[in-house]
Structure 1
Amino acid sequence: MKQLFFVFVFFLLGSNGWAQSKFIPASNTYIRYVGRFDFSNPQEVRFDWSGVYIQFSFRSAECSVKMSDTGHNYYNVFVDDQPVKIFDVKSDTTLVLGSELGTQIHNVQIYKRTEGNQGLGTFKGILLSENGEMLPWKEIPVRKIEFIGNSITCGYGTEGLSKGEHFKPSTENNYQSYAPIMARAFNADYHIVAHSGEGVVRNYGYKEKVSPTGTMPARFNRLFDEKDSPSWNFDQWKPDLVVINLGTNDFSTQPFPDKVVFKKGYENLINDVRKQYGDLPIFCIVGPMIDEPCYSYVKEMVEDFRNVAQKKNIYFVGIPSYLTNPEKDLGSDYHPNYSGQRKMAAHVLPVISSVLGWDYKNSEL
């Protein structure tokens, strides 16, 4: 069988540096945007949360995408399910995805590796050959999961070479976080609302027991991670379940928040989630970077919901600190690397599967 060879080139092009003649605007209905995106200007779709992704199908000999960024974000690109290359966007950029692609249908997926504090990204459109055409994305998952978390969920340092290596944005890869791993195992779309260093009531290293502002629950209602407004329109997307992994930063350093205050803050977050999404299953994860007293506080809070408030759709999942091997499963600043993240996913997946009756594949675990 004759093989088709792809030529992939990654560099910044001037406006006259590419022979393509058909521009597909960002508003094209065949482009899939999954995550919290801002469509207030449909020609320039903006975003900043970890793990947002863009998918589109096309038939064209050549393909590029136009993007820009206020900071410096990193992305994974897949063409026909094959990883092509990690690329970064610092300003206005035209990314050449392929040339001499032939006439068959191709699928492109662009995943944001880095989190909101690295900058605000904009997707401006696609360049195809003169006779190229956009096509509908065929495999749209039915299942939907939302993840709320901190640096572990963001994929902080998953590509760090050791636990002693300090964080660099280039080693943050949300695609390797337990959250997208679990979503792929369940064949589900996902949204991620996560920010490094933030807790339920106290952020990492804060000098008092409670941080007055900027904790993770305050970000839940935002369209952008790094902007207080506008608010996210919850009517745009409804998950089937929500996974919360918070508490690590509240108890990573002294002074610890009081149990009553911590539990109340967590309860408020769960009530906010239920207000927006209704009576859907919520899974509260603890670990593996933290143990007691966070472990017991979250478990007790979940049991209060289940036994006192009779809210049976809330579940506790404890991940033991010894799940990860300190020498093999940790990346930058003692965070789980890809191996550690896969172990986390493998620990949680059977619980959700049993509760929801969802089958899952374990090819990545």
Structure 2
Amino acid sequence: MKFEAVSEYTKIAGRTLFRDGVRFLGYSGTSVSFRFCGKKAAAHIISDIEHYETFQRAWAAVFIDDGKEPYKRFEISSAEADYILFESDAPKEVTVTLMKYTEPEYAPLGVVWLETDSEALLPPPERKQRKIQIVGDSITCGYGVEGSLEELVHRTCTENPRKSYSLLTAAELDAEVEIVAWNGKGVITEYIGDDRETVEDGWLVPMLYEYTDAGCERDYFHAPESDWEKWDHNSFEPDLVLVNLGTNDASYTREIPERNEEFRKGYFSFLKRIHMLHPASAILCMAGTMDGRLCETIDIAVKEFLEGFPGVRAACLSLPPQKEEEGFGTFWHPTEVTQRRTAEVVVAKAREMMGW
């Protein structure tokens, strides 16, 4: 049976664009899942690989049933090709999940169609009761988590959101998850080097939060911003929103009081926006894994937010910093060991807040 990646046949996780019959997986951890009884399943996938270096291509993984390790993991190495997702010598009833491992800055992954050797599909997997939304940057994406400090470029094959605190937390809490994260981006500025003194504010997380997939709109479709698809925030109502931002902003603020105040105002405004869109959601703000200089400012912003919205469950969590003995990934990013330690702290705080 050949079918499109639509809700009638599949469970779709995360923010994904569906355009001209193609399901585009852009954000880290976005996925499509389907169930069938048979011996083989495949996907026809497109990607604009000609616009990216070889080391910037999209990577995907396939999970069977509730497997913790990928059944297979592969690079999207062609502009258009068929990929085998599952094969068996005998018919089996299975759940197949195709997940994008790489983040939206790099090549997209478009699922044109899925196909099984069965004549029909089983009902899509059921959704979990709990829902969390995670807003962040490269740490949330699992950027460089399988890389090393010696690497001079970031290779997308070293990204793995399943080894990031984000999907580790979602798995431990048994929750559906929606990730909005992009490396190098912050609340009031992107990451800037030591030689810069002004913000780089053309592509920030609060803006990305408003769209389904701004990166795909800009880089794949080359559409004007006025035509970008706005995200339907009512389509995913999280019980808990995790906000892990400030690491990139700290490259600009540098503990300068006036700049910290700039960040506080921007962070406070973003919290209000999240609350306006999801008034019933609890909000857990955090930072500190790679750079903790803005933790105190974030705590001040959260306290100010609670004064204005006393009925909201909101808290601030200073994350434990990286340890040298745990190693470092690409460009000093946290390793799996550090990410797992972070997840333990986040899970404990989430359970405390939510009673889970």
Task: Tell me if both proteins adopt one fold, taking TM over 0.5 as the criterion.
Answer: yes
Counterpart secondary structure, 2:210: coil
Q: Structure 1 residue 147: deviation in Å?
A: 0.5
Q: Unpaired runs of 5+ in structure 1? A: 1-21, 359-365
Is residue 144 from structure 1 mapped to residue 131 from structure 2 by the alignment? Answer: yes
Q: Structure 1 residue 219: deviation in Å?
A: 0.8
Equivalent residues of 2:198, 2:252 under 8 A apart: no
Correspondent of 2:66 among 81, 93, 107: 81
Aligned Cα RMSD in Å? 1.9
Question: Paired residue for 1:248?
Answer: 247
Question: Paired residue for 1:16?
Answer: none
Question: Paired residue for 2:164?
Answer: 177
Equivalent residues of 2:253, 2:260 under 8 A apart: no
Question: Paired residue for 2:238?
Answer: 239
Equivalent residues of 1:48, 1:120 under 8 A apart: yes
Give the AA of the match of 2:27.
W
Equivalent residues of 2:100, 2:109 under 8 A apart: no
Task: Give the TM-score, by structure 2 length.
Answer: 0.87
Question: Paired residue for 1:211?
Answer: 200
Q: Unpaired runs of 5+ in structure 2? A: 50-56, 218-224
Q: Provide the C-alpha distance between the structure 2 equivalents of 1:126 and 1:309, rounded to a whole number of angstroms.
A: 46
Q: Structure 1 residue 347: deviation in Å?
A: 1.0
Question: Paired residue for 2:15?
Answer: 36
After TM superposition, the structure 1 = structure 2 runs for residues 1-365 of structure 1, keeping only pairs within 5 Å, are 22-27=1-6, 29-41=8-20, 43-71=21-49, 72-82=57-67, 83-90=70-77, 91-129=79-117, 131-160=118-147, 162-166=148-152, 167-205=154-192, 207-226=196-215, 227=217, 228=225, 229-252=228-251, 258-292=259-293, 294-307=294-307, 309-321=309-321, 324-358=322-356
Question: Paired residue for 1:11?
Answer: none
Q: Structure 1 residue 234: deviation in Å?
A: 1.3
Equivalent residues of 1:143, 1:188 under 8 A apart: yes
Q: Structure 1 residue 139: deviation in Å?
A: 4.1
Equivalent residues of 2:10, 2:125 under 8 A apart: no
Question: Paired residue for 2:221?
Answer: none
Equivalent residues of 1:77, 1:86 under 8 A apart: yes
Counterpart secondary structure, 1:175: helix
Give the AA of the match of 1:265.
G
Q: Structure 1 residue 208: deviation in Å?
A: 3.1
Q: Provide the C-alpha distance between the structure 2 equivalents of 1:247 and 1:318, rounded to a whole number of angstroms.
A: 11
Q: Provide the C-alpha distance between the structure 1 equivalents of 2:213 and 2:350, rounded to a whole number of angstroms.
A: 28
Counterpart secondary structure, 2:276: helix
Q: Provide the C-alpha distance between the structure 1 equivalents of 2:278 and 2:208, rounded to a whole number of angstroms.
A: 16
1:247-269 deviation digits (Å, cap 9, x = unpaired): 00011356656122111100111
Q: Structure 1 residue 44: deviation in Å?
A: 1.3
Count matched residues: 331
Equivalent residues of 1:30, 1:134 under 8 A apart: yes
Q: Which has the larger radius of gyration?
A: 1
Task: Give the TM-score, by structure 1 length.
Answer: 0.85
Return closer, same or farther for 1:200/1:311 CA change in 2, 3 Å cut-off.
farther
Q: Structure 1 residue 329: deviation in Å?
A: 4.1
Q: Provide the C-alpha distance between the structure 1 equivalents of 2:99 and 2:301, rounded to a whole number of angstroms.
A: 34
Return closer, same or farther for 1:341/1:30 CA change in 2, 3 Å cut-off.
same
Q: Provide the C-alpha distance between the structure 2 equivalents of 1:80 and 1:306, rounded to a whole number of angstroms.
A: 41
Q: Which has the higher helix share?
A: 2
Question: Paired residue for 2:220?
Answer: none
Q: Structure 1 residue 281: deviation in Å?
A: 0.6
Q: Provide the C-alpha distance between the structure 1 equivalents of 2:327 and 2:63, rounded to a whole number of angstroms.
A: 25
Q: Provide the C-alpha distance between the structure 1 equivalents of 2:4 and 2:89, rounded to a whole number of angstroms.
A: 21
Q: Report the identity percentage.
A: 27
Q: Provide the C-alpha distance between the structure 2 equivalents of 1:100 and 1:77, rounded to a whole number of angstroms.
A: 14
Equivalent residues of 2:22, 2:112 under 8 A apart: yes
